Amino acid sequence: MLTNNAPKVSILVPVFNAERFIADTITAVLAQTYTDFELILLDDASTDKTAEIVKSFTDERIVYVRNTENLGISANRNKLISMARGEYIAVLDHDDICLPKRLEMQTGFLDKHQDIAMIGSWFELSCPKTSSLWRRIITNLGWVWCHPLHPSWDDLWKGNVMMHPTIMYRRKIFADLGINYRAEYSPAEDYDLVRQAMEHNLQIANLPQILLKYNLHGNNWSLVKKEAMEEADHKIKKEIAKKFGKNRDWFYPYWLVMAEKLRLKFMVREDYDV
């Protein structure tokens, strides 16, 4: 059991039918160089062996809770936030892998830069060994997604400026401002979360370091819910356009976003001095 002393970081993981991935995700969290955390996994009524796998881990920092009925991703994420005790909240999805120094680098940055409310990072694409040959060939070239260090409103209009499972933020600031996930923007609720933060004039940033492996396994929400994702994305972009005082009735093409952000690993230089 956890002690009454609150951890510095609450790692929040919404879980649903994650038996293929959850063991690797948990193992990577437990291998972090920074150890003052709680790992809260909220199972949204999975029907596979997720619970059995999670319960096989005995680390006292793990908290596992199962919903009796499926709440949906936004409600599940908000429930996770209500369970968190840490000063900082680290977002993570059940199929992604934190690199060992993720928590160390992000907590250190937020401790040093008190003006920053939310920090993200670069990430590397990966895929399971069981993926199709073409997916493994393309992914294993070593693609890195490089978000800007200090995103602007124009960056945000083009697309989300933070990779959601790389985000860490100050829990109290978001709670005081009432910033949370809104179901009307699902499955792009993470994009809307960043927009809310910027509308409240919170300072956000991305570390120019690779701190996560994003598992491009083919069943990602952004792929499975492609039409709904595009609709929510356009809805958010229209609201962002209002911030400019302009009527932007066209949308920045996603292929151009990829061209601007995606780099091969040998082409990027990580900066540890920001």
Please give the DSSP secondary-structure letter assigned to residue 213.
Answer: E
pLDDT score recorded for residue 4: 60
Q: What is the pLDDT of residue 220?
A: 54
Amino acid identity for residue 218 in this structure: G
> What pTM was estimated for this model as a whole?
0.93
Q: What is the pLDDT of residue 223?
A: 55
The runs of H, that is alpha helices, within 70-101 are: 73-83
Q: If we measure between CA atoms, which residue out of 205, 169, 35, 177 comes closest to residue 89?
A: 169
CA distance 186 to 132: 28
pLDDT of residue 137: 77
Domains of the chain (ranges, CATH numbers): 9-267 (3.90.550.10)
Q: Look at residue 2 in the predicted model and tell me its pLDDT.
A: 42
How many Cα atoms sit within 13 Å of 12 on the Cβ side?
24
Identify which of 153, 245, 159, 166 has the alpha carbon closest to the alpha carbon of residue 199: 153
| Cα separation, 123 vs 162, whole angstroms | 10
- In sequence order, what are the beta bridge partners of 204? 118
Instruction: Name beta bridge partners: 143.
Output: 264
Q: What is the pLDDT of residue 249?
A: 78
Per-residue pLDDT of the chain in tens (274 residues, 90 and over written 9): 344 689 999 999 999 999 999 999 999 999 999 999 999 999 999 999 999 999 999 999 999 999 999 999 999 999 999 999 999 999 999 999 999 999 999 999 999 999 999 999 999 998 877 767 777 777 778 999 999 999 999 999 999 999 999 999 999 999 999 999 999 999 999 999 999 999 999 999 999 999 999 988 556 555 556 788 899 999 999 999 988 877 777 888 888 999 999 999 999 999 998 8
